[in-house]
Each structure stands twice: as structure tokens, then as C-alpha cells.
Amino acid sequence: MKRVVVTGLGALTPIGNTTSAFSEALKNGKSGAAPITYFDTTNFKTKFACEIKDFEPENFMHKREVRRLDPFQRYAMVIADEAIADAGLDSEKLDLDRAGVIWGSGIGGMNTVEAEVETYIQGNGIPRYNPFMIPKMISDLAAGLISIKYGYRGPNYATVSACASASHAIGNAFDYIRLGRADVMITGGSEATVCKVGIGGFNAMKALSTRNDSPETASRPFDAERDGFVLGEGGGAIVLEELEHARARGAKIYAEVVGAGATADAHHITAPHPEGLGAMQVMKTALQDAKLNIEEVDYINVHGTSTPLGDIAEVTAIQRVFGDHAYKLNISSTKSMTGHLLGAAGAVEAIACILAINDNFVPPTINHFTDDEKIDSKLNLTFNTAQERKVRVALSNTFGFGGHNASLVVKRLES
């Protein structure tokens, strides 16, 4: 197996529009939640979300391109550009047949679908659809657009597995390189569902917090009074590269990807397995793939969405997998700050793990006010304040509707 390293990062999140801004916000425990500005929320149960702030796509691309792209695609292009520039990749110096893109998005162009349906209804049923509607809507186009811009002719597709989408994309990209089928892969995910359909649909499922009087404290994983997740948007991009390929061109290396796991709960379309069986198995699988013992893990960035059932199931799974070592871990949910980016969550949270390794800190689980008696108080859930710690190995968990589970293991490069 080839070794795979991270050489570039890009982030566009509700708490920071670049990787460096995202890192600083993580350290400071910043909340990205605020009243929704994109549409009138008068008749909606939830009136807040974690929106991207101060983002003008025209600053990154031509107005014509902005019109032809759904927001999730705009986000993908911007963060891919940041990651590729960060990695110092030059298409003229790459074997483009061995450079690819695998991108995750759980839903794709929801804004586009909503806008086109509204236009159809307002037009009295006359089918005047935008000719770019389908390309703007389908999830695979983000990967396609990145490959077209940079000329990458290697593996190119999208992963769609709800909230595990980006983690599956990263795991797949990792496999292509370690199996010797690619040298460089751009991977990650983006999502843009803060719209009427997104908020309304998740409200109908009773999945979202309705803490409208205090949006900034609404995402509170592991708190006894948690009442659902906060919808977020944005994405993260990661450049994965074969180790010797990276060294040969003098690339800086953030971390090594050493393991990935994928399992299914086979239980329910939205609820997690109550005993956390799928979550347990995916962590075990990822650590076995990484050839690491449980005692070597320092930090787990959990799925931790702030839902009553999900948080309990994940903590149960961690304690069963890690035993006594669970009490020596740092555990945190960065969704307390970013909200839930759905299909992009795994990318943003993998970047949080990589930053933790590089900067020797563990980002906090903010908004903890009341202990949940069902959660072991001896666990270090990194409540409210970032903690200094040398992180050598970090594990990132993402679990999606449909019972999809994914875990990634990243490690400090030591030799």
C-alpha cells in the first residue's frame, strides 16, 4: 500500500471563510448560528441556521459563472481553489491522468430545485425551466466542474450517503492513492440547503432545534436540554497525495491519512441504532485499517449533532469500543459551532482533526449548560473551551440518514 498525506486544505464555513479563519474560530469556540437572512421565516418553526457570512461569489468567479452554478457548486469551486493553491499544485507539472476528484454532497442543488419549481408555479404551469437547471441540481457536477477547471482526468465522481457523503468521498480518494491508481486527489464536500425546502423539510421531521430565542446556543451536543440540530452550509476541500509524490515536489504535509471505515446500521431510515452497533463497527474497522490500537487515539471529532437519540448512541459506541481508554480521550463536536453541514460535514470535521494535529489543540463542544444523566460525566467532552493537547492520532465520525456510517483516521506524519 502507498502512503497518503494531506498537502492542501480549503474551508468555507459558517464560522470562517478560509481555513485559517476556520481554525481561529474553532480555537475561540465561535458559534455560527444566527437568524436566517435568505428568506422570510415568519411561518417556519425554525427561524435560524448557520449561514455562510460575508461571502460574495463574484469575488471568486465571473457573474456569468455564478448564475450557472448552484450555491453548493460555488462553494465547491472556491474551497477547491483554496486547497489546490495551498498545496502548490501546478497542472502543468502533474500527470493529469493520475489526478482526480471525488466529492460528497448529500443533497446537491436544493436551492435550484426550489427556485425552478417556484418559477413554474408562478408562471401558471408553463414549463419555462432554466437550461442549466439539471447541471445545477445534480450532486456529481461539483466534482465534474473541479476536474474541468484543472484538467484532472483521473477518477471523478460524487458520493451521496446523506451526512456521511464527504467522509465516504475522502475514504474513496484515500483508497485510489494507496492502491497506486492515482497520485493526487481533490476531495471533500459541499452543501447548501439553508432554504425554504431545507428548513421546512427538516422541521417536518422534528429534526431541527426550535430555540429561536437563542440561536447561538441552540446547537448543544450532549447537553440535557438539546432539542435537535442546527442546519449549516459550506464545505471543506482536502488535497490527498501519495507521500513520495508530495516529497518529490517539496510539498508541505499537514498529516497522514491512515485508515477509513464504512458500515451500515441496517436499522432505520433516520434513527441511529440505539446500541450504536454500526457506529461501534465503523470505528473498529477504521482503526483496524489504520493498524492502530485504541490506546493510540488522542481525539475523536464526533458526529454529535445535538439530537436526543444520536448523541447517546454515539457516546455508548465510543465507550464500548475504547473501554477505559475512553476516559483518556478528548471528544468534541464541532457542530456545536458550525451547525450540521449535512453531506459536507465529514470534510469540515476532518479538517478540524488535521488542524488539531498541526496546532496541538482540541476544539470545544460549546453550549454546554446542563449535564445529561444518561452521559458519563467522567468523559472529557471538551465542554465550552478549547484544550491544549498534543494530538498524534485523531478519528472523525460521520453518520447519515439511511444508517450510513463512516470514520476516518488521520495521524501526525512521523517518518
Question: What are the b/e assignments for 130-140, b being 16+ CB within 10 Å?
Answer: eebbebbbbbb
Q: Are residues 165 and 25 in the same domain?
A: yes
Residue 105: its pLDDT value, please? 98
The percentage of residues in the chain with a pLDDT greater than 70, rounded to a whole number, is: 100
DSSP, res 268 = -
The percentage of residues in the chain with a pLDDT greater than 90, rounded to a whole number, is: 97
- Does residue 214 register a pLDDT over 90? yes
CATH (domain of 280) = 3.40.47.10
Confidence of residue 415 (pLDDT cuts 50, 70, 90): confident
Question: What are the b/e assignments for 90-112, b being 16+ CB within 10 Å?
Answer: eeeebebebbbbbbbbbbbbbbb
User: Which of residues 218, 248, 278 is at a domain's end?
Assistant: 248
Q: Are residues 23 and 114 in the same domain?
A: yes
Q: Are residues 137 and 265 in the same domain?
A: no
Q: Are residues 15 and 137 in the same domain?
A: yes
Average pLDDT over residues 327-344: 98
Confidence of residue 274 (pLDDT cuts 50, 70, 90): confident
Q: Are residues 108 and 159 in the same domain?
A: yes
Average pLDDT over residues 344-372: 98
Residue 65: its pLDDT value, please? 96
CA angle centred on 306, ends 34 and 195, rounded to 5°:
45
Q: Are residues 96 and 26 in the same domain?
A: yes
User: Which of residues 190, 216, 248 is at a domain's end?
Assistant: 248
Asked if the structure places residue 192 within a domain, the reply is yes
Asked if the structure places residue 254 within a domain, the reply is no
Average pLDDT over residues 23-49: 98
Q: Choosing from 50, 163, 195, 353, which is the catalytic residue?
A: 163
Asked if the structure places residue 411 within a domain, the reply is no
**Measured between alpha carbons, how far is 99 from 265 in angstroms, rounded to an integer?**
33
Q: Choosing from 168, 273, 303, 404, which is the catalytic residue?
A: 303
Average pLDDT over residues 350-365: 98
- Residue 273 bears catalytic tag: no
- Does residue 262 register a pLDDT over 90? yes
pLDDT, tens digit, 9 for 90 and up, residues 394-412: 999 999 999 999 999 999 9
In sequence order, which ranges of 4-132 are alpha helices (DSSP H)?
Answer: 19-28, 63-68, 71-87, 110-122
CA angle centred on 277, ends 272 and 283, rounded to 5°:
105
CA angle centred on 339, ends 36 and 267, rounded to 5°:
120
For residue 364, the enclosing domain spans 259-402
For residue 414, how many other CB atoms are within 10 A of its CB?
6
User: Which of residues 200, 220, 248 is at a domain's end?
Assistant: 248
Q: Are residues 244 and 280 in the same domain?
A: no
Asked if the structure places residue 383 within a domain, the reply is yes
Q: Which of 49-63, 235-249, 271-285, 291-305 has the lowest mean pLDDT?
A: 271-285
Average pLDDT over residues 38-45: 98
Average pLDDT over residues 28-44: 98
- Residue 303 bears catalytic tag: yes
Asked if the structure places residue 407 within a domain, the reply is no
Q: Choosing from 245, 273, 340, 404, which is the catalytic residue?
A: 340
Regarding pTM above 0.75, the answer is yes
Residue with cell 465503523: 282
Q: Are residues 229 and 273 in the same domain?
A: no
- Does residue 133 register a pLDDT over 90? yes
Residue 275: its pLDDT value, please? 84
Q: Are residues 95 and 140 in the same domain?
A: yes
What backbone phi and psi angles, to 5 degrees, belong to 26? -60, -45
Confidence of residue 276 (pLDDT cuts 50, 70, 90): confident
Q: Are residues 290 and 198 in the same domain?
A: no
Burial label, 244 (beta-carbon count in 10 A; 0-12, 13-18, 19+) = exposed
Asked if the structure places residue 332 within a domain, the reply is yes
Q: Are residues 242 and 271 in the same domain?
A: no
- Residue 195 bears catalytic tag: no
Asked if the structure places residue 171 within a domain, the reply is yes
Asked if the structure places residue 408 within a domain, the reply is no
Number of domain units in the chain: 2
Residue 124: its pLDDT value, please? 85
Confidence of residue 186 (pLDDT cuts 50, 70, 90): very high
Q: Are residues 60 and 203 in the same domain?
A: yes
Cα within 13 Å of Cα(112), Cβ side = 24
